[in-house]
Chain A
Amino acid sequence: MTNALFLALAYMRFHRIASAALIMAIALIAAVPVGTRVVLNASENALGTRAAATPLILGARGSSLDLTLAALYFTDAVTVPVTQGDADAVWDSGLAMAIPLHVGFTARALPVVGTAVDYFDFRGLAVAAGRPMAQIGEAVLGAGAAARLGLKPGDTLVTDAQNLFDLAGAYPLELTIAGVFAPNGTADDRAVFVEMKTVWIIAGIGHGHDAVQSVNGQSVVASPAIQQFNRITPENIDTFHLHQNTALLPASAVLVVPYDAKSAAILQGRYLEGDNPLHLIIPATVIEGLLQTLFRIGRILDAVVLIVGAATVTAIALALSLATQLRAGEMQTLFRLGAHRATIAKTIGAQIAIILSLGAVLAATIVIPLAYLSPQIAAMLVAAAP
């Protein structure tokens, strides 16, 4: 057997390019479908886990998937907002916590998420540096956002202008970074969190400006000379105010966390009527539907991979067969030198076994790290996907 291995290795060394190509082909045909499935499974787990960790979402009646993606992944797919008053109504019911979320604004292309500090308790977000936001004008960054922007507590970040031609609309606001969260492998990692009041100021609903001066004893109602602040400082924070009843101010969605199963059932019943402009959805159900669709697509991909794999295996078998036929003269020489037919078969068998083994080892070196890193890869894919 040692002799057969020696001869097989010698042959492979002599035909190293052809042998390496075969090993690579075998490794890829094994690693690609397995690796894809590993990452896909991890992504499905990540989607399902975040959805399962969110009991209910309240939003304007419409697409449940859009509402779920906005509430869980901070997409700006929700076009019709709910109000802070809708969240207050949930609180006042005594049946659940209600955590408002406002999405749609960005800062250097990362989502600016308006919410309450209850969100951090709810998601178990731990501050790794600095502190949670304490007042309007402050932001806390997800770990990924801080790394991408290269920001730390004490730095500033300016929100992106939305529409240069909307004179009454959102002006960029300079945010002070109060803290950075530890990574949790979800969409929270790439978000810029601010207070709801801060996001309303970004939206132009609230603002701060110089004290209105009176001229000849009469108030100046509107003057172009009044300076509007685009950063909130200790000196001007008291000038910031909202121009609307807070209960009427917009939120994209409200995370609803019932105190118990009975409270959840009562709340769901309250939003069942079709003429209610709001609906209360179970994100796990919505994501389950999405995963079922992904699962069906995955099955098609599996079939494609299976067909391509079978074709590749056939091609490899053909290549080995042709290579063996090309070595007919070499085999004949061995036979004439006195080698037994079994010895010749062993030599060819050893060569095939070595190629398959090396292919398997190479596949394992791809798949094992991929499996180890799959939660992080899935988190990145899931967080960035929408």
Chain B
Amino acid sequence: MKLLVLTIALALPTAAQAEPLNVQASNDVLAMFAQRLAGDAATVTMPVPDGIDPATWQPRIAAIAAVQDAGLIVLNGAGYEGWSTRVSLPRARTVDTTHGMDAELIHLAGQSHSHGAGPTHSHDGVAPVVWLDFSLAARQAGAIAAALTRALPDAPVAANLAALQTDLADLDAEAKALGAAMQGQTLLVWQPGYEYFGRAYGIPLREVTFDAAEPPSPAQLAALDAAVADTQARLMLWDAAPPPDTATALAARGIMPVIFTTAANPPEGADVLGMLQANLAALRAALDPA
């Protein structure tokens, strides 16, 4: 039994340790959750460099080694971390925040596309940006809290979870109000990633793929025209401001871009929760320009 206790103690470092728990989270939303839940008892790091989508990150060996060394590794799951399928991670120190959500996950049958000179790819499989359904985000926070409670039994994780879930519930209520206000109006989206937001809040979505850095191609503009004709949509969600040519093309068609970020890898020091709140505020403002 002594050995058993020792083993568990090794696997789950406790708050008695002088050093804060080293937590590695696979995107900034999860990192924010982990930091708010653990407080000063943990140092939370998001290993993906600035400017790279965590969903397409290909870690080098040094980055993998840093993740392996963490006391707790927080993953989104749902296929978000493609790199994790070829990497050795310690399961005892890894939390998959969408584990047990199989019934809630959205399965995609997407079409192939490319971003600029990047490789052609499709988003078949499971939609991974779960946290834009704020009720599921609260469950993700709960999964992280459970792991942190085991790792940091003396930290006020439960109290921090209650505060975080209150904030997420506020976001959920605001998003529901927005969904009701939209009255079934379709939103165009520039790429996948908004599936859970649309489903959770009753907002129909239509994807018209554009590139974040390239001018629109004739095929893309034709697809946009077809989508506008089908749906009479006048708003389009973008993760960041569209490139000038695309913005001009959208304006010519009466489409207003709305900055609605997934907040997966914002610039360092950004307020992630504030960005999620700003998404809803931007959409509210676009709905009601007056």
Contact = CB atoms under 8 A, between A and B. Distances in A.
B10 A117 contact: no
B16 interface: no
A121 B10 contact: yes
Contacts of B287: none
Given A52-B3, A259-B8, A117 B86 contact: no
B252 interface: no
Contact of A134 (B4, B58, B87): B87
Contacts of A116: 88, 90-91
A133 interface: yes
Interface centre among A52, A132, A240, by most chain B C-beta atoms within 10 angstroms, is: A132
Interface string B112-139: 0000000000000000000000000000
A118 B92 contact: yes
A337 to B, nearest CB: 73
B86 A261 contact: no
B11 A134 contact: no
A197 interface: yes
Given A52-B3, A134-B65, A121 B90 contact: yes
Contact of B86 (A52, A136, A257, A258): A136
B64 A135 contact: yes
Contacts of A195: 88
B86 A240 contact: yes
A118 B90 CA distance: 5
B7 A257 contact: yes
Interface residues of A, number: 28
A122 interface: yes
The secondary-structure label for the interface of chain B is: helix
Contacts, number: 62
B88 A124 contact: no
Contacts of B10: 121-122, 124
A30 B101 CA distance: 69
B1 interface: yes
Chain B, interface residues (CB within 8 Å), range = 20 to 34
Given A117-B68, A258-B4, A133 B88 contact: yes
A121 B70 CA distance: 12
A181 B140 CA distance: 36
A195 B65 CA distance: 15
Contact of A197 (B3, B58, B86): B86
Interface string B7-19: 1101100000000
Given A117-B68, A122-B7, A124-B10, A134 B88 contact: yes
Contacts of B85: 197
A82 B85 CA distance: 21
A237 B88 contact: no
A153 to B, nearest CB: 12
A52 B58 CA distance: 41
A55 interface: yes
Interface centre among A124, A135, A195, by most chain B C-beta atoms within 10 angstroms, is: A135
A91 interface: yes
A294 interface: no
Interface string B253-287: 00000000000000000000000000000000000
Contact of B65 (A118, A121, A131, A259): A131
A328 interface: no
Given A118-B91, A134-B65, A134-B87, A53 B8 contact: no
A131 B65 CA distance: 8
Contacts of B89: 117
A199 interface: no
Nearest to A87: B91
A187 interface: no
A97 interface: yes
B229 interface: no
Nearest to B8: A259
Contacts of B90: 116-118, 121
Given A132-B68, A240-B86, 10 more contacts: A97-B92, A121-B11, A121-B92, A124-B10, A132-B65, A134-B61, A135-B61, A135-B86, A136-B86, A258-B4
15 contacts: A52-B3, A53-B3, A97-B92, A117-B90, A118-B90, A118-B92, A121-B90, A121-B93, A122-B7, A133-B88, A134-B61, A134-B64, A134-B65, A135-B64, A135-B88
5 closest A-B pairs (Cβ-Cβ)? A134-B64, A117-B90, A117-B88, A118-B92, A195-B88
